[in-house]
Amino acid sequence: MRLKAKNKLITFASLALTLAVVLGACGDRLLEVEFENTPDGNFDALWHEFDRYYALFDVRHVNWDSLYAVYRPRIDEGSTNAELYEVMTGLLSHLQDEHVKLYAQGFPRYKSGSEKDYLLFSDSDPDSFYSDRTALWLTALNVYLDSVYVSATEFGQPSGFSGYGGINPDMTTLSLGYMIFYHFALSDPPVAYFNAAIKSFRDCDGVILDMRVNGGGSTGTSDALINRFADKDREYIIDRYRNGPGHSNYTDSQIDSLHPTDNALDDIPVVVLTGRFTASAAEDFTLGAMVLPLATVAGDTTKGVLGGVVKKVLPNGWEFTLSSNLCLSIDGVCYEGIGIPPDIHVIASRAEVDAGRDAVIDRAIELLESAVR
C-alpha cells in the first residue's frame, strides 16, 4: 500500500535504513549524511535531501544545482530563522509541487505551488475556492439527492469526509447512486461506510462518484473504494522510486493493481467526476477508473499532483515533505504537473450551482441514461 502522506519522521542519522524500507530502494547504497544545526547547515541539509531523494526534477523542469548557486550565498551561520525560512521557501517554490511542504516552528506552513492557480467553476475567481467548494457540496446533497442522505459521520468518520444517497427521481427516470468526497485523508479505510454505500447502490442503474473537491490523502482509502467497482484484477499504475545520486536514477517499475472485493459493483456503469482540485490519492482513484470498462471520467482536468510523499526532519527540528516517486498511468503517461484529462470535458458555473443546477452532475446523469438504454 502506498500512503500519500506518511507521518513517520526520518532523522538523518537513520536515513539510509529507513528510506530503504519506505521506498523499497535497491541498487546503490543510500547515503548517510549528517549536518550541523546552523542556518547554513540546515539549508545544506534541505538542499541535499531533495538532491538525493526527490523524484520529479526532470518532470518539473527544475535545475537543482543552479538553484543552489542562487540561494546558498543568501545564508550563512549568522542568518536568522526568518531569513532561513525565506530562503528555504524561495528555493522550494521553484518545484511548484504541492506535495512539497515545509513545517517551521513559528512560521506559516509552506506549500510549494498555489491553489489560486486553479478554478473549480468556469466563473470562479482565484480567492473563491472555499466558498465554491461549499456551494458545490450543498447543491449536490441538498438539491440532487433524494430525501435519503447518509453522512460519513454516521460511521464515525470526520465531518465533511463524504456523503452519499440516491439522485432525486425528478432529475432522471433511472435509479442512480451518488457519492461525494472532500478527501481520502483517513488513517484506515472506512470499510463499514463503503460497504453500506455499496449495499445501497446494489439495485441502482448506475453510480456517480464525485471527486471534484477531493484533495487526496491515503491510497489505502482510495484503493478500498475503487476496488469495490473493479470487475477483475487490473494493472493501473506504474511507480518508479528515486534510487541513486542521479536525478534520473530510479528503481525498476513497480505495478499497482486493482483487486475486486467480494461485494464489488462490477456490472453497472459508473461516472467519476473530476476537477482542478482533484489531487493526489484522488488522482490515483481516477487512474483506476480509467482502466475499468464500465467507468467514464467526466468534468475537468485534475490537479496533477501524484506519487507518494516522505516526511523528514531537519537538524533544527523543522520538518519537510518531498515527492518520493514518479507515478505513471499503466500505459506509461506521466500526468505530474499537467493533470489527468477527463473522457468528457464539462465545467459547471458558480452562478448555475447557486441557482440549484450543476452542469457536471447533469452531464453524468445523461451519460448514465445513454449507457443504460
Q: Do 337 and 95 meet the contact criterion of CB atoms below 8 Å apart? A: no
Distance between CA atoms of residues 178 and 160, nearest Å: 15
Q: What is the arithmetic mean of pLDDT over 270-293?
A: 97
- Give residue 16's pLDDT band: very low, low, confident or very high (50, 70, 90): very low
1-113+238-247+307-328 folds as Transcription Regulator spoIIAA (3.30.750)
Q: What is the pLDDT of residues 139-166, one digit of tens each?
A: 999 999 998 999 999 999 998 899 999 9
Q: What is the arithmetic mean of pLDDT over 72-88?
A: 97
**Cell 526532470 belongs to which residue?**
58
Q: What is the pLDDT of residues 172-187, one digit of tens each?
A: 999 999 999 999 999 9
Q: 270-274 and 206-210 as β-strands: parallel, antiparallel, unpaired?
A: parallel
Say yes or no to pLDDT of 244 above 50. yes
- Give residue 32's pLDDT band: very low, low, confident or very high (50, 70, 90): low
Q: What is the pLDDT of residues 295-325, one digit of tens each?
A: 999 999 999 999 899 999 999 999 999 999 9
pLDDT at res. 372: 84
Say yes or no to pLDDT of 19 above 70. no
- Which 8-state DSSP code applies to residue 32? -
Q: Where are the domains of the chain?
A: 1-113+238-247+307-328, 117-231+266-304+339-372
Say yes or no to pLDDT of 362 above 60. yes
Q: Rounded to the nearest 10 degrees, what angle do helices 281-290 and 219-226 cross at?
A: 30
Q: What is the arithmetic mean of pLDDT over 6-25?
A: 32
Cβ contacts of 94 within 8 Å, gap of 6 or more: 62, 67, 112
pLDDT at res. 130: 87
- Give residue 211's pLDDT band: very low, low, confident or very high (50, 70, 90): very high
Q: Do 303 and 283 meet the contact criterion of CB atoms below 8 Å apart? A: yes
- In the chain, helix, strand, coil percent, each to 5? 35, 20, 45
Pick the CATH number of 117-231+266-304+339-372 from 2.40.37.10, 3.40.190.10, 3.90.226.10, 3.40.50.980: 3.90.226.10
Going across the sheet that includes 101-103, the strands are 110-111, 101-103, 319-323, 309-313
Lowest mean pLDDT among 110-119, 256-265, 334-343: 110-119
Say yes or no to pLDDT of 4 above 90. no
